[in-house]
């Protein structure tokens, strides 16, 4: 019999033996050509699983993370691209009954932990991005830190359930659990400051924190002290639902409240909603109850200003119908969209109110209903989910996200139409969900989404809001077809696509600083002079941006390395509170706050941003720009920009994404042209 004293020694001996087996399997994989590596994967995963089941196994795997990556363990899988992984999906892979899936996920997390600690530099993800990802993974899987496996987990996963808990115990030990919770709360607030339409992942994080805080067996100390306001915004916003009694109990309580109590409830919910951007399911019960009371209390519950209140009273029947059809506990977030839609006053535009009445009665195609049910379930009905999505998009045009899809152009178009032409957005929605076809025109010729070949995305998106879920596939195919019709033309096809795809307000003037044929930088100085002349208030006669304009940027990581081309919308240019000229823009990538390296850190709050906007100092944004549109009839003062300022912008470019794109000519030579 092995004594307790000898047990660690026995474990160490076993770990040493299993690590030798793993190292041998990895070496064999390294020596195998790429096309045959999958034949060696089974042995590596089996050996890794046996290591991870032992004390010290996680640390040993982390130390070998770079070797495992280089050997090709992740080759041909989603894990090979850590920069596009979704934290929310780890809950499924870690709870899988398939041992290979669980082990691959564990290897991926330990690899990212090694990157986060700077043990090796990954070409696709920075240390900051890895830490950010791991904090979200730990938040979503918080229960793995505190609770033992359930009977169902033990039955389904066996010892794998213990392995995942050992993994998260190691992650929290290395990162520091207190830091994880504190960083998590900060991260949630940072995301909410951007007011995204899709907040399901945020709600999951808050729910996990709430479960842990209510578990007497878990000692949190002072960690996550800022979480109370987040938790209460969903589960205990007002006195009437302080102890989270359930929506049916709360509805019964409302019937016993007098007017003063109802007003107190309405003010509390409205304050929490506008403070956080989150809507409690209890809030929806109150709003439905107030439909039978007076409109003053309803406007209080929505937190409306005089503008929104007047709009609600003017279109009273429409607003009541929208609430009845679209607002349910499952679609609570749409209540915020409705409030902001009223605040925007867009119902006063003659076509919008009739278009919303049409939306209320709109018959959905069989395909549209099936897609909505697959994504959101059957309660409430697909029509309610779609209407809720419409309200969210109308109220939060800068909250539209592209999800984990290469469809930034389509997401930008939806955002731009909601922002600038909501009538057109509502028409596009009708065509897409009723007819299963969208027809747009390119240079006078119709393009049908039904008859067009595939788009940029290789598969149907699933992680989008209800409107994007149904409309983006149509827009993606049309956008790709416009590109195909530009084949053979000299230069970048966006010159012709963007004005036709996004709208008449897109400037027909077009500038690009990359030679399409070679990928090299070209005419940098003249490009920047022209951008300043078109958009900088000091050089364009103090002319503000009238219509949002599409633009293209070269995205870089925190090490200023080029990642790819990306679509944004230029919204406005103005002085920030520190009197620094900034460009405020829309980024469809779900999270605008990013570190682009070389001191270029995108801001989403604290520098004069409105909800949903990202911003950078003018010089820094200009340095990452590679295409922009402008009105060719408006001329700025090209010669007024100092050479010193231009050189600073160009230096930002050549130190980052342009470093390996330098042409064999002097970039500082002035062309002197217009």
| pLDDT the model gives residue 5 | 45
Mean pLDDT of the chain: 88
Confidence of residue 146 (pLDDT cuts 50, 70, 90): low
| Residue pair 337/323 in contact by the 8 Å Cβ criterion | no
- Please tell me whether residues 400 and 540 are part of one structural domain: no
- Please tell me whether residues 458 and 530 are part of one structural domain: no
Residue 287 within any structural domain of the chain: no
Residue 111 within any structural domain of the chain: yes
Confidence of residue 218 (pLDDT cuts 50, 70, 90): low
Q: What is the arithmetic mean of pLDDT over 519-543?
A: 93
For residues 177 and 130, the model is more confident at 130
In the chain, how many domains are there? 3
Q: Which residue range forms the structural domain that includes residue 363?
A: 349-485
Asked whether the predicted pLDDT for residue 20 surpasses 60, the reply is yes
Confidence of residue 154 (pLDDT cuts 50, 70, 90): low
Characterise 285 by phi-psi region: left (phi > 0), alpha (psi -120 to 50), beta (else): alpha
Asked whether the predicted pLDDT for residue 276 surpasses 60, the reply is yes
Asked whether the predicted pLDDT for residue 1 surpasses 80, the reply is no
Instruction: Point out the least confidently predicted range of 211-225, 245-259, 493-507, 522-536.
Output: 211-225
Nearest to 14 by CA among 44, 46, 57: 57
Q: Give the residue from 131, 146, 175 where a domain finishes.
A: 175
| pLDDT the model gives residue 294 | 86
Q: What number of residues does the chain have?
A: 674
Residue 396 within any structural domain of the chain: yes
Asked whether the predicted pLDDT for residue 335 surpasses 90, the reply is yes
Residue 245 within any structural domain of the chain: no
For residues 215 and 263, the model is more confident at 263
Confidence of residue 3 (pLDDT cuts 50, 70, 90): very low
Nearest to 78 by CA among 94, 96, 101: 101
| pLDDT the model gives residue 89 | 82
Nearest to 317 by CA among 295, 350, 339: 295
Residue 287 is encoded by which pair of tokens? 């709003």
Residue 338 within any structural domain of the chain: no
**Any residues with CB less than 8 A from the CB of 183 and at least 6 apart, and which?**
135
What is the spatial distance between Cα 248 and Cα 245, in angstroms, rounded to a whole number? 8
pLDDT digits (tens, 9 = 90+) for 343-397: 999 999 999 999 999 999 999 999 999 999 999 999 999 999 999 999 999 999 9
| pLDDT the model gives residue 223 | 60
pLDDT digits (tens, 9 = 90+) for 585-605: 999 987 777 888 899 999 999
Q: Using the 8-state DSSP alphabet, how is residue 609 labeled?
A: P
Residue 88 within any structural domain of the chain: yes
| Residue pair 74/80 in contact by the 8 Å Cβ criterion | yes
**Any residues with CB less than 8 A from the CB of 163 and at least 6 apart, and which?**
49, 52, 53, 102, 106
What is the spatial distance between Cα 283 and Cα 290, in angstroms, rounded to a whole number? 11
| pLDDT the model gives residue 216 | 66
Asked whether the predicted pLDDT for residue 673 surpasses 60, the reply is no
Nearest to 622 by CA among 568, 663, 543: 568
What is the spatial distance between Cα 438 and Cα 414, in angstroms, rounded to a whole number? 13
CA dihedral angle for residue 369, residue 374, residue 377, residue 381, rounded to 10 degrees: 0
Cis peptide before 211 (omega within 30 of 0): no
pLDDT digits (tens, 9 = 90+) for 297-317: 999 999 999 999 999 999 999
Residue 436 within any structural domain of the chain: yes
Asked whether the predicted pLDDT for residue 553 surpasses 70, the reply is yes
Residue 171 is encoded by which pair of tokens? 């992650």
The HSE-up count of residue 1 (CA atoms within 13 Å, CB side) is 2
- Please tell me whether residues 478 and 566 are part of one structural domain: no
Residue 414 within any structural domain of the chain: yes
Asked whether the predicted pLDDT for residue 665 surpasses 80, the reply is no
Q: Using the 8-state DSSP alphabet, how is residue 552 labeled?
A: E
| pLDDT the model gives residue 156 | 66
User: Chain-centre distance of CA 509, in angstroms?
Assistant: 31
- Please tell me whether residues 528 and 480 are part of one structural domain: no
Q: Using the 8-state DSSP alphabet, how is residue 441 labeled?
A: E
Q: What is the arithmetic mean of pLDDT over 415-435?
A: 97
| pLDDT the model gives residue 150 | 59
Q: What is the arithmetic mean of pLDDT over 106-123?
A: 91
Q: Identify the sign of the CA torsion 589, 594, 595, 596.
A: positive
Q: What is the arithmetic mean of pLDDT over 404-421?
A: 92
| pLDDT the model gives residue 670 | 40
What own/partner pairs with CB < 8 Å and gap ≥ 24 does 180-183 have?
180/135, 180/138, 180/139, 181/209, 181/220, 181/223, 181/224, 181/227, 182/223, 182/224, 182/225, 182/226, 183/135
- Please tell me whether residues 30 and 167 are part of one structural domain: yes
| pLDDT the model gives residue 217 | 61
- Please tell me whether residues 480 and 542 are part of one structural domain: no
Asked whether the predicted pLDDT for residue 323 surpasses 60, the reply is yes
- Please tell me whether residues 481 and 526 are part of one structural domain: no
Q: Give the residue from 155, 175, 195 where a domain finishes.
A: 175
Asked whether the predicted pLDDT for residue 138 surpasses 90, the reply is no
Q: What is the arithmetic mean of pLDDT over 66-78?
A: 89
Secondary structure E strands in 14-79: none
Nearest to 41 by CA among 85, 82, 75, 90: 75
pLDDT digits (tens, 9 = 90+) for 483-492: 999 998 998 9
| pLDDT the model gives residue 635 | 76
Residue 654 is encoded by which pair of tokens? 């050549």
| Residue pair 615/584 in contact by the 8 Å Cβ criterion | yes
3-state secondary structure 143-202: HHHHCCCCHHHHHHHCCHHHHHHHHHHHHHHHHCHHHHHHHHHHHHHHHHCCCCCCCHHH
- Please tell me whether residues 418 and 539 are part of one structural domain: no
- Please tell me whether residues 370 and 404 are part of one structural domain: yes
Nearest to 568 by CA among 586, 589, 544: 586
- Please tell me whether residues 415 and 467 are part of one structural domain: yes
Go through 561-575 and write b for each residue having 16 or more CB atoms within 10 A of its CB, e for each that does not: bbeebbbbbbbbbee
| Residue pair 400/569 in contact by the 8 Å Cβ criterion | no
For residues 574 and 90, the model is more confident at 574
Q: Give the residue from 485, 518, 538 where a domain finishes.
A: 485
| Residue pair 438/474 in contact by the 8 Å Cβ criterion | yes
Confidence of residue 152 (pLDDT cuts 50, 70, 90): low
Question: Is 36 in a helix, a strand, or coil?
Answer: helix
The DSSP line for 356-396 is HHHHHTPPPPHHHHHHHHHHH-SSS-HHHHHHHHHHHHHH-
- Please tell me whether residues 574 and 461 are part of one structural domain: no
Question: Is 629 in a helix, a strand, or coil?
Answer: strand
- Please tell me whether residues 451 and 543 are part of one structural domain: no
The DSSP line for 385-417 is HHHHHHHHHHH-GGG----SSS-HHHHHHHHHH
Instruction: Point out the least confidently predicted range of 249-253, 294-298, 402-406, 468-472.
Output: 402-406
Confidence of residue 219 (pLDDT cuts 50, 70, 90): low
Instruction: Point out the least confidently predicted range of 144-148, 372-376, 573-577.
Output: 144-148
What is the spatial distance between Cα 266 and Cα 106, in angstroms, rounded to a whole number? 46
Q: Which residue bears the tokens 């070797």?
A: 67
**Any residues with CB less than 8 A from the CB of 562 and at least 6 apart, and which?**
554, 555, 556, 656, 657, 660
């Amino acid at each position: 019999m092995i004594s307790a004293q000898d047990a660690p020694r026995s474990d160490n001996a076993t770990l040493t033996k299993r690590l030798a087996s793993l190292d041998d399997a990895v070496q064999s994989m390294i020596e195998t050509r790429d096309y045959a590596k999958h034949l060696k994967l089974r042995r590596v995963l089996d050996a890794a699983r046996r290591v991870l089941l032992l004390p010290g196994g996680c640390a040993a795997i982390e130390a070998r993370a770079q070797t495992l990556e280089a050997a090709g363990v992740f080759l041909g899988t989603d894990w090979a691209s850590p920069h596009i992984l979704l934290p929310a999906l780890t809950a499924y892979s870690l709870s899988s009954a398939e041992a290979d899936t669980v082990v691959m996920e564990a290897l991926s997390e330990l690899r990212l932990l090694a990157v986060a600690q700077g043990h090796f530099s990954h070409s696709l993800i920075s240390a900051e991005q890895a830490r950010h990802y791991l904090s979200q993974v730990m938040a979503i899987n918080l229960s793995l830190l505190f609770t033992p496996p359930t009977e169902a987990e033990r039955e389904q996963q066996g010892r794998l359930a213990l392995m995942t808990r050992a993994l998260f115990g190691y992650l929290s030990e290395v990162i520091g659990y207190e830091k994880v919770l504190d960083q998590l709360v900060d991260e949630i607030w940072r995301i909410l400051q951007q007011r995204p339409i899709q907040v399901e992942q945020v709600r999951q994080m808050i729910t996990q924190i709430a479960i842990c805080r209510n578990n007497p067996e878990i000692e949190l100390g002072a960690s996550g002290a800022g979480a109370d306001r987040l938790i209460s915004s969903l589960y205990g916003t007002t006195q009437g639902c302080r102890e989270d009694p359930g929506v049916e109990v709360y509805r019964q309580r409302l019937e016993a409240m007098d007017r003063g109590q109802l007003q107190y409830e309405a003010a509390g919910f409205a304050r929490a909603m506008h403070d956080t951007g989150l809507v409690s399911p209890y809030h929806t019960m109150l709003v439905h109850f107030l439909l039978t009371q007076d409109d003053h209390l309803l406007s209080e519950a929505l937190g409306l200003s005089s503008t929104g209140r007047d709009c609600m009273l003017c279109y009273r029947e429409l607003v009541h119908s929208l609430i009845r059809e679209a607002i349910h506990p499952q679609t609570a977030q749409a209540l915020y969209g409705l409030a902001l839609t009223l605040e925007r006053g867009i119902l006063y535009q003659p076509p919008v109110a009739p278009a919303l009445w049409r939306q209320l009665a709109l018959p959905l195609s069989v395909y549209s209903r099936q897609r909505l049910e697959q994504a959101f379930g059957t309660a409430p009905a697909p029509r309610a989910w779609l209407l809720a999505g419409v309200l969210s998009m109308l109220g939060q045009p800068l909250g539209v996200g592209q999800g984990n899809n290469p469809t930034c152009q389509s997401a930008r178009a939806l955002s731009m139409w909601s922002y600038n032409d909501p009538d057109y957005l509502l028409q596009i929605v009708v065509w897409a969900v009723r007819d299963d076809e969208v027809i747009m025109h390119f240079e006078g010729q119709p393009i049908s989404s039904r008859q067009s070949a595939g788009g940029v995305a290789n598969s149907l998106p699933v992680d989008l809001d209800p409107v994007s879920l149904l409309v983006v596939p149509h827009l993606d195919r049309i956008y790709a077809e416009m590109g195909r019709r530009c084949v053979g033309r000299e230069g970048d096809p966006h010159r012709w696509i963007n004005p036709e795809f996004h709208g008449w307000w897109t400037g027909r003037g077009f500038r690009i600083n990359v030679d399409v044929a070679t990928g090299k930088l070209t005419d940098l100085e003249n490009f920047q002079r022209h951008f300043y002349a078109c958009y900088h208030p000091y050089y364009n006669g103090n002319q503000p941006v009238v219509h949002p304009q599409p633009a293209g940027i070269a995205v870089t990581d925190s090490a200023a390395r080029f990642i790819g081309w990306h679509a944004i919308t230029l919204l406005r240019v103005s002085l920030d509170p520190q009197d620094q000229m900034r460009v405020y823009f829309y980024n469809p990538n779900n999270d605008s706050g990013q570190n682009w390296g070389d001191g270029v850190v995108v801001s989403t709050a604290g520098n004069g941003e409105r909800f949903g906007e990202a911003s950078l100092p003018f010089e820094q944004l200009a340095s990452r720009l590679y295409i922009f549109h402008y009105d060719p009839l408006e001329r700025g003062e090209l010669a007024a920009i100092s050479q010193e300022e231009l050189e600073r912008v160009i230096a930002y470019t050549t130190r980052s994404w342009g470093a390996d794109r330098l042409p064999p000519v002097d970039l500082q030579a002035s062309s002197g042209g217009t």
